[in-house]
Each structure stands twice: as C-alpha cells, then as structure tokens.
Amino acid sequence: MSIIKREGLPHFVVKKNLQKSGTRGIYFSDVVTEEVLRDVCLKITGQMEFTCEYVDNSYHDPFLDATYNKGRLAILHVEDTVCYISFSEREIGGRNSSVQSVPTAFNLFYLNPYPNKRLFYYFLNVAGNAETAYQRLIYRLMRTIGFTFLNASPSLEQISSPFTSAEDIILNRKVNADRNRSNNSTYLTKGTDGALEVYGKTYGANKYETSLICYALACLRRPEQRIRLYEVLEGNLKELPEASLRVIRKMGGIDVVRTGMTLEKRNYQENKSLRSPLYIYNLLRRLGNKHCALCGCEIPEIIQGAHVWPVSKIKKAPGLTPEQRLEYALDGENGLWLCENHHKLFDENLLSFDQDGSVRLREGLDERYANYIQEITKIQSLPQSMLTKRFLWYLEQRSLSVS
Ligand SMILES: [Zn+2]
C-alpha cells in the first residue's frame, strides 16, 4: 500500500505493462508518457505540477490489482478524489480494438466501492479517423454511462452527446445494424411484453459492445422498465466476462438469459420452447429490426416472428431427425416479421404467399374481409432478397402441410 501524495500535488499511479507487453515490447508507459500525464493533469485539475509513479504488475492498492494494466488506465489522486482515466489506442483503426478496454475500465471504476471517484477518457490520437458511425455509437454509449472526454475535438464532442432514453439507443442502433447486418452485431429491440431486449454475442469482440449497450440501457432505464439480455452462446458456453456480469447485476433491472443451440435443444425436447430467443436472434440477423413485412409497422411490441413452416407441423413431419426438426424450427430463413394482425391472418391461412412472393388471399373469402385485408396490406409482395431457395422450400412445406 503506497499511495503517496507528495506535498499535496496530484499524484498518478500507472501500471507499466499491458497484457502483451512482454511479447510485443510495447509498454503502456511508452505511450502514456509524463508529457501526456501533464496534459491530463492540466485538464482535470487546472495545474501542471504533479507527481507520478509507473508501477509493476505486483503493485496493488485499493484501486489497482496485482496484475498488468487492465482498461488502459491511469489512476490520479487529487486530494481525496480518485480519477480513473482510460486512454484510447494511438491508432483508432479497427472496429473493435478501440472499444476493448472501455468496458474493462468501466468495470473497475464501477465496482470499486470508494465513493469519491470520477471517470475520464483521453484520446491519444485526436486527429485520427475516429468518427465513423460505429465509433460515434460507442462514444455516445460511453458518455451515457458517465465518461467525461478530456480532449475531444469540438466536433466529436458535438456528435457524441449522451443518449437520452433506451428508445433513443434502439433507433440509433437500428441505423447501424441495417447497414452492417452481416456483421455479428448486438441487436436491440423490444419484446411483445414491452421489455427491452438485447440479443448479444458474449464472446470475442462482441462482448465489449454488448456490455456497453447493457450498461447504457441500465443507466437510462425507467423504474418500471424491464431489460432482458439474451446471451447468444455458441458451442462451448461462453458467458460475458465475470466482471461485466457483476456490473450488470449491481446496476439492476437486467435479467440475463442464456440461449444457444444446446439450451434450445433441451427446451425443444422437453417441449418447453414456447418462444425461442435464438429464433428471434436469427430473424434479427437476417431481416434487420422488427418491421411487418406486409404493412411496414415498426412498433416492436406488436411485431412477432412468424414461422413459414410452423413448428407444430415440423414436429409432426415424418422422417426427420430431432436435429433437423430443431434446425428448421430455429432457422431465420423459416420466417418473417409480421404484426399481430398479419401474423394471425397468416396463421389462419386467410392470406398466404405465392412462390414469387406475392400475397394471395384465401379463395372464397367474404368480400368485406378481403377488402379489409387489402386495405391493411400496404405491401403486396415480399422483397426479392427474402425469397431465398430455402425460404421458398419452407413455403412449399407449409402448403404441403396445410393442404
Ligand atoms: Zn402488418
């Protein structure tokens, strides 16, 4: 324990080593130099005089564990205030590299019980191309959860305003996801019960994004609002890092639900799968945010995932292995988004689709009913992009099982 405050000057403690310093020969102390610290000190305290110590992995105090530098952090003691300053990379290039250390820094800050603490972010490269739509989203999330940017350019400051509501994040995320659907993104929507739903991969680079989105939602959550995080697991179960889960639990209001093939299989076999999160995730991935394919309605609370080949029929179809049945039941191509009205009309076979994607009403339907359906069905034909071979095959199975 050696938090030394010489002559009452602001005092920095900085872990020298990054995780890979040993093999890469790049030390945090080479990047966050005394010159950088002077600027940080000036911006936080208004004075340039300070003391600092760069410490080894074995060093520990109430704010730093005996490990390498996690979260690209420097700790600054100013009288009885403790400042956590996280630093960007020098090159803010990749989609993910610049984000990685942010949730880690936040976790350390948030979980520390010391009351008089503050959280900052310092850009080591202000001039770099850091203002892509994705970066903007991340910066806005950071400011939402309480990061103060020490040296953002006025333009960056302006475009990274904190989010004001969970809905605000959903709408912004939608723009992002629509553009990048092929990426394994974190998806945000609302369930039919009005709960906020986060569908996120919880390993690899996605875990950082998923964590940040959850933190921001928890900060903005109204008291009556529920949030569900669906951890989409693949293969060996990999949950969010323990520190992130601890933060989520401490913030409160978020239910963490694990989902993945193994779990869905068990639910399916035990006949428990009334609503499958993995199916919804697959639809989000294939079709983007919830929107009725037949009327364009985007109100997520009344949009549902509609199976083309219904699960009840898949269960009864002859000659299939259990694995095949599960695969068809969860396949994003075996479905479309429909509002509650259109879903019911589709389920009751009052309307169906031809192989060219155009809407067909049931023959002999009362004219008044037909007129009503025509009226609410603003979109008379599914987009070409939806009519994959597999989708059409499901459509065929549907008509076979219906007739
Ligand atoms: Zn509709």
Per-residue pLDDT, 209: 85
For residue 397, what pLDDT band results from cuts at 50, 70 and 90? very high
Around ion ligand 1, residues with a beta carbon closer than 5 Å are 292, 294-295, 297, 339, 342
Q: Please give the average per-residue pLDDT across 64-85, as a whole number.
A: 96
Amino acid, single-letter form, for residue 174 = K
Q: What distance in angstroms lies between residue 60's CA and the mean position of ligand 1's atoms?
A: 59
Please determine, for residue 66, whether its predicted confidence score (pLDDT) is greater than 50: yes
C-alpha angle 165/289/258, rounded to 5°?
A: 80
Please determine, for residue 184, whether its predicted confidence score (pLDDT) is greater than 70: no
Q: Assign 87 to helix, strand or coil.
A: strand
Q: What distance in angstroms lies between residue 376's CA and the mean position of ligand 1's atoms?
A: 7
Please determine, for residue 113, whether its predicted confidence score (pLDDT) is greater than 80: yes
Q: What distance in angstroms lies between residue 341's CA and the mean position of ligand 1's atoms?
A: 6
Q: Please give the average per-residue pLDDT across 216-225, as a whole number.
A: 93
Q: What distance in angstroms lies between residue 66's CA and the mean position of ligand 1's atoms?
A: 57
Q: What distance in angstroms lies between residue 293's CA and the mean position of ligand 1's atoms?
A: 7
Please determine, for residue 193, whether its predicted confidence score (pLDDT) is greater than 60: yes
Per-position DSSP letters for 313-326, written without gaps between them? HHHH-TT--HHHHH
Contacts (Cβ under 8 Å, ≥6 apart) of 239: 202, 231, 233, 245, 258
Q: What distance in angstroms lies between residue 338's CA and the mean position of ligand 1's atoms?
A: 5
Please determine, for residue 2, whether its predicted confidence score (pLDDT) is greater than 50: no
Q: What distance in angstroms lies between residue 14's CA and the mean position of ligand 1's atoms?
A: 57
Per-residue pLDDT, 174: 65
Q: What distance in angstroms lies between residue 294's CA and the mean position of ligand 1's atoms?
A: 5
Q: What distance in angstroms lies between residue 403's CA and the mean position of ligand 1's atoms?
A: 25
Q: Please give the average per-residue pLDDT across 115-131, as a whole number.
A: 80
Please determine, for residue 108, whether its predicted confidence score (pLDDT) is greater than 80: yes
Q: What distance in angstroms lies between residue 188's CA and the mean position of ligand 1's atoms?
A: 20
Q: What distance in angstroms lies between residue 372's CA and the mean position of ligand 1's atoms?
A: 12
372: left (phi over 0), alpha (psi -120 to 50) or beta: alpha
Per-residue pLDDT, 140: 94
For residue 1, what pLDDT band results from cuts at 50, 70 and 90? very low
Q: What distance in angstroms lies between residue 329's CA and the mean position of ligand 1's atoms?
A: 22
Per-residue pLDDT, 266: 77
For residue 92, what pLDDT band results from cuts at 50, 70 and 90? low
Over pLDDT 70: what percentage of the chain?
90
Q: What distance in angstroms lies between residue 344's CA and the mean position of ligand 1's atoms?
A: 10
CA–CA gap between residue 315 and residue 359 (Å, rounded): 26
Q: What distance in angstroms lies between residue 297's CA and the mean position of ligand 1's atoms?
A: 6
Q: What distance in angstroms lies between residue 361's CA and the mean position of ligand 1's atoms?
A: 15
Per-residue pLDDT, 155: 85
Please determine, for residue 400, whether its predicted confidence score (pLDDT) is greater than 60: yes
Q: Which two tokens stand for residue 279?
A: 């199916």
Q: Write the DSSP symbol of residue 6.
A: G
Q: What distance in angstroms lies between residue 394's CA and the mean position of ligand 1's atoms?
A: 21
Q: Assign 281 to helix, strand or coil.
A: helix
Q: Please give the average per-residue pLDDT across 353-370, as a whole number.
A: 95
Q: Assign 337 to helix, strand or coil.
A: strand
Q: What distance in angstroms lies between residue 362's CA and the mean position of ligand 1's atoms?
A: 17
Q: What distance in angstroms lies between residue 342's CA and the mean position of ligand 1's atoms?
A: 5
Please determine, for residue 93, whether its predicted confidence score (pLDDT) is greater than 60: no
CA–CA gap between residue 123 and residue 152 (Å, rounded): 7
For residue 7, what pLDDT band results from cuts at 50, 70 and 90? low
- Between helices 206-220 and 133-144, what is the axis angle to 10°? 40
Q: Are 69 and 26 in contact (CB under 8 A)?
A: no
Nearest Cα neighbor of 304 from 260, 274, 326 is 274
Per-residue pLDDT, 3: 47
Q: What distance in angstroms lies between residue 67's CA and the mean position of ligand 1's atoms?
A: 55
Q: Which two tokens stand for residue 24?
A: 């890469």
pLDDT digit string, tens, across residues 129-155: 556 777 888 899 999 999 999 998 888
What average pLDDT does the chain have? Answer: 88
C-alpha angle 265/400/383, rounded to 5°?
A: 80
